[in-house]
Amino acid sequence: MTTATNRASCKPCSTISRRSARGSASSRKEKADVGARRPSFTIGEPGKEAGIHFAGIPTGHEFTSLLLALLQTGGHSIKLDDATIEQIRNLDGDFSFETYFSLSCQSCPEVVQALNMMAIINPRIKHVAIDGALFQEEVESRQVMAVPMMFMNGESFSQGRMDVKEILAKLDTGSAERAAKELEKKPVFDVLIVGGGPAGAAAAIYAARKGIATGVVAERFGGQVLDTMAIENFISVQETEGLKFATALEQHVKSYEVDVMDVQRAEKLVPGKINEIHLASGAVLKAKTVVLSTSARWREIGAPGEREYRGRGMAYCPHCDGPLFKGKRVAVIGGDNSGVEAAIDLAGIVSAVTLIEFGAELRADAVLQKKLRSLPNVTIVTQGQTTEITGDGKKVNGIVYKDRATNEEKRIELEGVFV
């Protein structure tokens, strides 16, 4: 493989194996583990130890991750602010990350790209991005049931979408306290918006255009839009992807003089002549006017076991997590368009799909229902009310539902449940 510049180089996994005799025992073991995965390759500068590894072929959503790794290793600018780059550079310790991804996951590239950038900035950080669909035995042994799944120095680190600032907040334990002190210095805002989804972005733009002091505080800018595969109902935009849409929202907001404070969770509102927003970090923001636009969250079924087994067989994104259930039995809860589409997609990966719909009939479009019923490994259950997600303490092993027509309780043995 050639690179975009003459500074970066891709090294085949065989090179890793030959070099694994050097360095410490832990370093040798890490390199041997990386080299044992086929296919795999590394990206780094000639004459220097590579910090970026790909186990698998990064096509699909991860193709951009590959291109960025090549360009940034070769000297292309990294789009992080100076303070964040300095914080990464000054991290004290050796950090070896492994991220399991799937090629159809739109949340995974953000994690992969964040850790790759950190590996380029700080030579004490290493990152291996692993296509979970290609290494099923490894996924099984480490009980990876949702992506992106991150391990650090061999231990579980986090699961789900994270950006650089969120990863840094977990690594740099003193960063929250430092950030809180900086936030305490903020002046009183004319308008402070709590929430970074489309509604919060719109409120910020309208306020900033009036020339008043405006701030936005959010856990993550973009909100649930970041987890949305496709958007087809935003007027004037025929079709777009959630991440692309959220990025455009943030760019639009930052084109005005808006103080965006992300990776901050608001916990309490104290109303008064000057309103106060108390954050989880301990900081207090003040504003004459507060706009609450706290975004939306995924719907839950509310059954026992759902939260206990989230990320351990309970899933909400068939595109992201479906490849991890190859050859297994799964259930899909919901018979509208999204549920039926999920069942159709999963049927091509798993051994058996049971779709459970609460109502007396499916609510999906007729064309989707026809496709679903043509699939030999799909079972459709109507008038089914999910009452429990069961497991062995480590992962999901079944689902219990009530037949609303007969009040009979039934159980299905399976390995995954998609809501």
Bin 93: left if φ > 0, else alpha if -120 < ψ < 50, else beta. left
The reported pLDDT for the residue numbered 231 is 84
Nearest-angstrom CA–CA distance, 34 and 138: 12
What is the SS3 string spanning the chain?
CCCCCCCCEEEEHHHHHHHCCCCCHHHHHHHHHHHHCCCEEEEECCCCCCCEEEECCCCHHHHHHHHHHHHHHCCCCCCCCHHHHHHHHCCCCCEEEEEEECCCCCCHHHHHHHHHHHHHHCCCEEEEEEEHHHCHHHHHHCCCCCCCEEEECCEEEEECCCCHHHHHHHHCCCHHHHHHHHHHCCCCEEEEEECCCHHHHHHHHHHHCCCCCEEEECCCCCHHHHHCCEECCECCECCEEHHHHHHHHHHHHHCCCEEEECCCCEEEEECCCCEEEEECCCCEEEEEEEEECCCCCCCCCCCCCCCCCECCCEECCHHHHHHHHCCCEEEEECCCHHHHHHHHHHHCCCCEEEEECCCCCCCCCHHHHHHHHCCCCEEEECCEEEEEEEECCCCEEEEEEEECCCCEEEEEECCEEEC
**pTM reported for the whole predicted model:** 0.79
Whole-number pLDDT of residue 329: 98
Is the bond into 58 cis (omega within 30 degrees of 0)? no
Is there a contact between 126 and 119 (Cβ–Cβ < 8 Å)? Answer: yes
181-292 matches 314-418 in fold: yes
Task: Say how far apart CA 62 and CA 222 lie, in whole Å.
Answer: 20
Ranges of each domain in the chain: 9-172, 181-292, 314-418
Domain covering 181-292 assigned CATH 3.50.50.60 in the classification: yes
Per-residue pLDDT of the chain (419 residues; tens, 9 = 90+): 433 333 444 444 433 333 333 334 444 444 545 558 999 999 999 989 999 999 999 999 899 999 999 999 999 999 999 999 999 999 999 999 999 999 999 889 999 999 999 999 999 999 999 999 999 999 999 999 999 999 999 999 999 989 999 999 899 988 878 888 999 999 999 999 999 999 999 999 999 999 999 999 999 899 888 877 778 888 899 999 888 899 999 999 999 999 999 989 999 999 999 999 999 999 999 999 999 999 777 778 999 999 999 999 999 889 889 999 999 999 999 999 989 999 999 999 999 999 999 999 999 999 999 999 999 999 999 999 999 999 999 999 999 999 999 999 999 999 999 99
The separation between the first and the last C-alpha atoms of the chain, rounded to the nearest angstrom, is 40
Residues 196-205 as b or e (16 or more Cβ within 10 Å = b): bbbbbbbbbb
pLDDT of residue 223: 87
CATH of range 9-172; options 3.90.226.10, 3.30.2290.10, 3.40.30.80, 3.90.1150.10: 3.40.30.80
Q: Which CATH number fits domain 314-418: 3.50.50.60, 3.40.50.300, 3.40.630.30, 2.60.40.10?
A: 3.50.50.60
Please give the pLDDT value at position 35.
Answer: 57
